[in-house]
A and B are shown apart, each in its own frame.
Chain A
Amino acid sequence: MTPFHTTLPRSTRMGAPRSALHSVKKALATGAVVALVAIFFAPTFVSVGSAQDLKKPANFPTRPLTMIVPYGAGGGSDQVARAMAKAMSRVADIKFQVVNKPGGGGTAAIPDFMLAPPDGYTVLEHIDNAVSAYAKGDIKENPAKDWIPLCTTQITFSQVYARNDDSRFPNWNAVVDQAKQNPGELTIANVGKVGSMEVILMYQMENALGIKFKQISFDKPAERYGALLGKQVDLLFEQPGDVRSFLDAKKMRPLLTFLDERPSAFANTPTHREAGAKFKPLMRFRGFYVKKGVPKDRVTFLQNTCKAAFSEKSYAAFNRKKYMHLIDSFRDRAGSVKLIKNSVKIYRKVFKELGI
């Protein structure tokens, strides 16, 4: 759907009444009903955009860019995409139209992206699921080769959580003891998709410690939180930014961090290495891509814009809220390619061990 502000040429953005009028005109074309909404909402939207321009290539962009989000409106990916679109429009005065295309664990959006011409006007937001899907053969497109990563702007680690009032698990060691006494009995809510980062990481942990959990596969994140709080399961596997409200409210408590060193905000939680595992943990990461074949100057411009937007105030505040400041959450193009390639290598190795 068209966010009306994005289609305004710069010269017409002079004041609320005029831009509202313009919005209404546009909206009338798409239907009187939408117009009604626009009248009420357009005036609140004029302030976005600023002067600080990055060096733009000739004749690019002459219209708003499209950002495809492979997950639903309001979810974690959608939030990153919208926060980034906002920050990028602030630093470089380019406009984005965010389009959600959910389904198939993030694969449903790929056809649209691949069908779009390689002109830099279509940007795809995607997460590490695209990388594991490629490693597994679910998708043909190699995110490091067939796509050009512009930047990665969120990188985060995973943790294991228990209910805060669950006295059975004062710490991670208690979990291991229980798991050893009753192999395969302790339940842990997880994302079940075969070959996903979540499943692989838990598999590596079980292997390293010689323990076995009963992993319960969930398809919707909120259900997992409900299952832990409602005592349907014993433990939860998740990333801290997604359960921040439960941590702040002292409803959940982290027991283990999958990271080489303890991050400052979780100084009292042991890492998987301290718990006796040696592997290099896979990370959740979200980044932005254009298709292979986009002119070089446009790629460079978008890369620079992405980098500038990452440090932009509103985006930085957003990332902080999601605990993304605890580890370095930014990778440029080269860094993103490296991250993707390394991840593909780990996935392939584990898939082989697992016989996937």
Chain B
Amino acid sequence: MEDFLAGSLALFGNGHTFMLFLAALLGGMLFGAIPGVNMLTLGAVILPFTISMQPEHAIMVFAVIYCSGVFGGAITAILFNIPGAPENAPTCFDGYPMTQQGRAGKAIGAAVAFSALGGILSAILMMVATHPIAEWAITAFGPPEIFALIVFGLSVTASLGAKTLWKGWLSIFIGLLLATIGTDPVGGISRFSAWTIFGEPVTSQYATYYLSAGIHFIPVILGFFAIAEVLTQAQNIAEGKRERPKASVQFPSFAEFWQVRITALRSTLLGIFAGILPGIGATLAAFLGYAQAVKWSKHPEEFGKGKLEGVVASETANNAATGAAMIPLLALGLPGGALTAMMLGVFQIHGMDPGPLILINSKDLVWITFAAMFWANVAILFLGWLQTKTVVHILRIPFRWLVPAIFLLAVVGAYALRNSLTDVWVMLIAGIAGYFLRKTGYSPAGIVLGLILGKIGESAFAKSMQLFSYSAAEFLNRPLAWIMILIAFVTLVSSIVGELRKKA
């Protein structure tokens, strides 16, 4: 507690520090909220500037961007069906229908309040138990357990956002297939990188280089959501079907909050759990949170049609994962995702290495980061409330004016990922594909989930098999792993039975 107060004092006692805190907070929110760019883009932009900052400022700025960036992505998900980042994708399922029903204010209000709640709870956990949790996570979760968790995650989220269970699974499989393009995680062998037609090579050397780097999920997500949404709306406008959603600024009532308390708690726990596992992170957290909310609900059929609980489930979980993801980074120096990897770089640029010693050697720095993350989430609550009252008015802008902006930002976002024009082409192709996938009842969110988890899952599976000397039966010696795979199997079978019964 003393440390926390000292960290908070350092944060607010110094004008310069506080200004940076606010700048990072707003920057993260803006970059998170604008489709096309995200917190990673912002991180890459400011990385050179952090070199000349004081180390505690540099780290604090990144930590705050992390918190506010994950929240920011919910806004466009709710207003336009365009998630700011993959972890906001499940927020679309219910958030966007709410907007169409003229309840955008409530959806954003819930996203704000529960993002903050999830974030605050995980920040508290981070403060009290960073070290033991980090040690537990890497000891209990080896490659076999990570693989099992991903199988489990895919099995419980397969039907989300698709018309039928089959289309849900097909979506996931398309994602998994896309994930196999590029160098394999074990031998670095290129796959699907050089194509031939009748024995003649059709891919140039440069195309081969691009494909061996793999299809990145950022252009795909921009295409599937931003571009496909623009196309869908364009069709609606052309057919005279589009009604501009009402811009309501009504905040959810306390009673509405109270109703979803269990869901919020469940999502917090799931978010924290997914966050502390290296490499899993916020995306699976959000999907799991949403899927479990559907599963335990008394009215699962209401999900996907504008249920407040759906927004709560997804947004609580993804923000809870942020604080938790700092745990392996700070305690062990192990980054779990792209932004935490960048933070590791920031530490090292300043001649420091996160890890067991940092909690002792650079206690001030760690606590200013903890305090900043805590207060960033508190600030989200306040700023988000203000934002609810204002940002909803974007809906008043005629869609034909928004389209060029969304289009431009999507192009910039795809290009900025790794300065590659090919990524922009991939995005445009994904956009057209996404339009038809949606029309036909497949789940773009499922494809993105398959693409993201496919890479992690394949890598974990390959490592497991090497550890097991290529004998899959060895999974039985890892109780946690086979229990999760068993649950995944049971879930799969029961969902198939359910689907068949529905038809009968």
A302 smallest CB distance to B (angstroms):
21
A41 near B49: Cβ-Cβ < 8 Å: yes
Contact of A104 with B213 in the complex, beta carbons under 8 Å: yes
B334 on the A face (CB < 8 A):
yes
| Cβ contact within 8 Å between B420 and A217 | no
> Is B356 at the interface (CB under 8 A from chain A)?
yes
Give the contacts of B351-365 with A (CB-CB under 8 A): 351, 353-358
Cβ contacts under 8 Å, A33 to chain B: 27, 30-31, 34, 37
B228-271 interface bits toward A, Cβ cutoff 8 Å, 1 = contact, 0 = none: 00000000000000000000000000000000000000000000
Docked CA distance A233–B463 (Å): 11
Return the chain B residue nearest A220 by Cβ: B279
Residues of chain A within 8 A of B45, CB atoms compared: 1, 34, 37
For A32-68 the 0/1 string (1 means CB < 8 A from B) is 0110110111101101100000000000000000000
Residues 179 to 232 of chain A near chain B (Cβ within 8 Å): 184, 187, 192-194, 196, 214-220, 222-223, 225-227, 229-232
Task: Give B49's nearest chain A residue, CB to CB.
Answer: A41
CB <8 Å contact, B138 and A192: no
A98–B345 Cα distance when bound, in Å, is 15
* Bound complex: CA A44 to CA B44 (Å): 17
The segment out of A106-114, A116-124, A278-286 that lies at the interface is: A106-114
Contact across chains for B467 and A223 when beta carbons are under 8 A apart: no
- A251 partner residues in chain B, CB cutoff 8 A: 355-356
Given contacts A104-B182, A225-B333, A226-B328, contact A111 B209 (CB under 8 A): yes
Check B209–A40 contact: CB distance below 8 A. no
Q: Assess A112 versus B419: contact at CB under 8 Å? Given A1-B44, A40-B23.
A: yes
CB pair A41 B143 closer than 8 Å: no
- The contact of B213 among A45, A48, A108, by CB within 8 Å, is A108
Q: Min CB distance, B187 to chain A, in Å?
A: 4
Q: Which residues of A contact B341 (CB under 8 A)?
A: 72, 74-75, 222
Residues of chain A within 8 A of B31, CB atoms compared: 33
Q: How far is the CA of A193 from the CA of B49 in the complex (A)?
A: 34
Asked if A82 is an interface residue, CB under 8 A from chain B, the answer is yes
**Chain A: minimal CB distance from B380 (Å):** 18
B416 to chain A, nearest CB (A): 7
Q: Which of B325-347 contact A (CB under 8 A)?
A: 328, 332-335, 338, 341-346
Residue of A nearest to B204 (CB): A111
B52 interface residue (CB < 8 Å to A)? yes
Task: List, in ascending order, chain A residues with CB within 8 A of B346's CB.
Answer: 74
Known: A78-B345, A321-B351. A232 touches B466 (CB 8 A): no
- Chain B neighbourhood of A227, CB < 8 A: 138, 142-143, 463
A41→B343 CA distance, assembly (Å)? 17
The answer to whether B418 touches A37, judged by C-beta atoms less than 8 angstroms apart, is no
B489 is an interface residue with CB less than 8 A from chain A: no
In the bound complex, residues from chain A placing their C-beta under 8 Å from that of B183 are: 104-105, 193
Task: Please report the C-alpha to C-alpha distance between residue A36 and residue B343 in the assembled complex, in whole angstroms.
Answer: 21
Task: Classify the interface of chain B: helix, strand, loop or mixed.
Answer: helix
Q: A36-B27, A216-B463 are in contact. Are A246 and B355 (CB under 8 A)?
A: yes
A86 interface hit (Cβ, 8 Å): yes
Contact A74 B142 (CB under 8 A): no
> How far does the alpha carbon of A133 sit from the alpha carbon of B446 in the complex, in Å?
35
Q: In the bound complex, do residue A245 and residue B343 qualify as a contact, i.e. CB atoms below 8 Å apart?
A: no
Q: Which residues of B contact A231 (CB under 8 A)?
A: 139
Q: In the complex the two chains form, what is the Cα distance from A232 to B188 in whole Å?
A: 22
Report the minimal beta-carbon distance from B127 to chain A, rounded to whole angstroms.
Answer: 21
In the complex, the answer to whether B466 meets A225 with C-beta atoms within 8 Å is no
Nearest CB of B to A69, in Å = 11
Distance from B360 Cβ to chain A, minimum over Cβ atoms (Å) = 9
Query: Contacts A222-B333, A222-B334 given: A36-B23 contact, CB under 8 Å?
Result: yes
A 233-267 to B, binary, CB cutoff 8 A, 1 in contact else 0: 10000000000111011010000000000000000
Interface size class of A (residues with CB under 8 A): 35 or more
Whether the Cβ atoms of B205 and A193 lie closer than 8 Å is: no
| Residues of chain A with a CB closer than 8 A to B416's CB | 1
A245 partner, pick from B43, B328, B354, beta carbons under 8 A:
B354
Contact for A3 among B48, B206, B351, B354, CB less than 8 A: B48
Question: Which B residues are in CB contact (< 8 Å) with A321?
Answer: 351
- Shortest C-beta distance, B180 to chain A (Å), equals 14
Across-interface contacts of B47 in A (CB, < 8 A): 73-74
Task: Given A3-B48, A3-B49, A215-B466, verify A192-B187 contact (CB < 8 Å).
Answer: yes
Say whether A99 faces chain B, with CB atoms less than 8 Å apart. Answer: yes
Contacts of B206 in A (CB 8 A): 111
Task: Please measure, in the bound complex, the distance between the C-alpha atom of A102 and the C-alpha atom of B418, giving whole angstroms.
Answer: 7
Query: Are the C-beta atoms of B205 and A140 separated by less than 8 Å?
Result: yes
Identify which of B142, B186, B190, B343 contacts A192 (C-beta below 8 A): B186
**Shortest distance from the beta carbon of A141 to any chain B beta carbon, whole Å:** 10
Q: If A111-B209, A217-B466 touch, does A226 touch B334 (CB 8 Å cutoff)?
A: yes
Q: How far is the CA of A196 from the CA of B349 in the complex (A)?
A: 26
Q: B367: shortest Cβ distance to chain A, in Å?
A: 19
Closest A residue, CB atoms, query B346: A74
Q: Is A79 an interface residue (CB 8 A)?
A: yes
Q: Does B129 make an interface contact (CB < 8 A)? A: no
Q: Does A73 lie within 8 Å of B342, measured CB to CB?
A: yes
Q: Is the CB of B353 within 8 A of A245?
A: yes
Interchain CB contact under 8 A, A73 and B43: yes
Closest to B357 in A: A249
- Closest B-chain residue to A102, C-beta based? B418
- Decide if A193 touches B459 in the complex (CB within 8 Å): no
**Minimum CB distance partner of A115 in chain B:** B206
| B49 in contact with A45 (CB, 8 Å) | yes
* Binary contact track B2-21/A, C-beta < 8 Å → 1, others 0: 00000000000000000110
- Nearest A residue to B33, CB-CB: A33
Contact A187:B52 (CB < 8 A) given known A194-B189, A225-B333: no
Q: Given the known A-B contacts A194-B187, A216-B466, are A74 and B182 also in contact in the complex, defined by CB atoms under 8 Å?
A: no
Contact B278 A100 (CB under 8 A): no
Question: Would you call A101 an interface residue if the criterion is a C-beta within 8 Å of the partner chain's C-beta atoms?
Answer: yes
Could you tell me if B19 and A232 are in contact, using CB atoms closer than 8 angstroms? no
Does B42 lie at the interface of the complex (its beta carbon under 8 Å from any beta carbon of A)?
yes
CB distance from B423 to the nearest CB of A (A): 10
Q: Does B395 contact A (CB under 8 A)?
A: no
With A73-B47, A74-B343, A214-B469 given, can you name 10 additional A-B contacts, CB distance below 8 Å? A37-B27, A37-B45, A45-B52, A72-B338, A74-B342, A103-B212, A108-B209, A249-B355, A249-B357, A321-B351
Nearest 10 A-B pairs (CB), nearest first? A74-B345, A103-B213, A245-B353, A230-B138, A193-B188, A104-B213, A41-B49, A108-B213, A232-B142, A3-B48
Q: List 15 A-B contacts (CB under 8 A).
A: A1-B45, A3-B49, A48-B52, A100-B44, A104-B190, A104-B210, A108-B420, A111-B205, A217-B466, A222-B341, A222-B344, A227-B463, A229-B138, A245-B333, A249-B355
